[in-house]
């Protein structure tokens, strides 16, 4: 075999026995020769390459421009989301925007509360200075988050669907969040929390009212010993 420095020939094993008795000749063949459409495309490409002008963005079809803009916005949205210090709880269920867009999910009020850990949960109320402690009155004494109530809290263990204990939150949201069992379970937890909040509010109102009555009685008694309130004191 004749010695050559061509890159294709250099890939061949020089000590191969089959090349010792075989004559191989390499010829360069121009691609697509004789295809008028390809030759026309090559000609136009060479002409366009010779122009030193800016790309004609106005020639892009509107639908293609919308596709490019949508992809760009989603990537920007995803980058902002995953690097944000907020939405820590939501990221347990929806780690990326791409995951969210793949979900057959239409959020409802109760489901939104659980996915965002808002309003009825002790951790959120404590952050808003509405409660003294963020912990829940359960044996675990854990911070009262939606994730704890859904997957760990022993007070709801008898009602908890199995998938909430065996699967990661993101898979639960993707495949099971709209099932009857989980929907009913979340509704029961939410109503329990609402009842507890109402009882707490009522207790605070009664406490405030009692303090107000004592304060008024004390002031009436202290104004004069001749006051009819004095005998009551």
Each residue's pLDDT tens digit in the chain (233 positions)? 455 666 666 666 666 555 666 777 767 666 666 777 778 888 888 887 777 667 666 777 888 888 989 999 999 999 999 999 988 889 999 999 999 999 888 778 888 888 888 767 767 776 767 677 777 778 888 888 888 889 888 889 899 999 998 999 989 998 888 889 999 999 998 888 888 777 665 556 566 666 666 666 656 555 555 555 444 44
Residue 208 forms part of a structural domain: yes
Residue 24 forms part of a structural domain: no
Residue 156 forms part of a structural domain: yes
Q: Model confidence over 64-101: pLDDT tens digits?
A: 888 989 999 999 999 999 999 988 889 999 999 999 99
Own/partner long-range contacts of 106-114 (Cβ < 8 Å, ≥24 apart): 110/186, 110/187, 110/190, 111/177, 111/183, 111/186, 113/146, 113/190, 114/146, 114/150, 114/186, 114/190
Which tokens belong to 65?
Answer: 């421009």
Number of structural domains (the chain) is 1
Q: Which domain holds residue 152?
A: 107-232
Residues 6+ apart with CB under 8 A from 221: 227, 229, 230, 232, 233
In terms of DSSP H, where are the helices of the chain?
7-10, 36-49, 62-83, 90-93, 97-101, 109-116, 122-127, 146-151, 163-166, 169-175, 180-223, 228-232
Rounded to two decimals, the pTM is 0.57
């Amino acid at each position: 075999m004749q010695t050559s420095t061509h890159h294709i020939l250099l890939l061949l094993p020089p000590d191969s026995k089959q090349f010792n008795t075989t004559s191989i000749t390499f010829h360069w063949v121009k691609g697509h020769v004789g295809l008028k459409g390809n030759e026309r495309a090559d000609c136009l490409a060479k002409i366009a390459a010779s122009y030193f002008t800016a790309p004609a963005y106005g020639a892009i079809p509107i639908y293609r421009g919308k596709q490019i803009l949508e992809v760009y916005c989603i990537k920007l949205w995803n980058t902002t989301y995953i690097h944000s210090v907020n939405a820590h709880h939501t990221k347990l269920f929806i780690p990326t925007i791409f995951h969210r867009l793949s979900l057959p999910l239409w959020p409802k009020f109760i489901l939104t509360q659980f996915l965002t850990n808002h309003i009825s949960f002790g951790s959120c109320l404590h952050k808003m200075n509405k409660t003294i402690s963020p912990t829940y009155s359960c044996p675990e004494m854990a911070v009262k988050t939606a994730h704890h109530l859904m997957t760990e809290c022993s007070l709801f263990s008898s009602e908890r669907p199995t998938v909430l204990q065996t699967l990661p939150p993101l898979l639960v949201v993707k495949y099971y969040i709209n099932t009857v069992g989980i929907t009913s379970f979340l509704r029961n937890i939410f109503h329990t929390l609402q009842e507890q909040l109402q009882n707490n509010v009522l207790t605070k109102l009664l406490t405030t009212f009692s303090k107000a009555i004592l304060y008024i009685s004390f002031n009436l008694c202290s104004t004069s010993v001749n006051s009819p309130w004095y005998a009551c004191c």
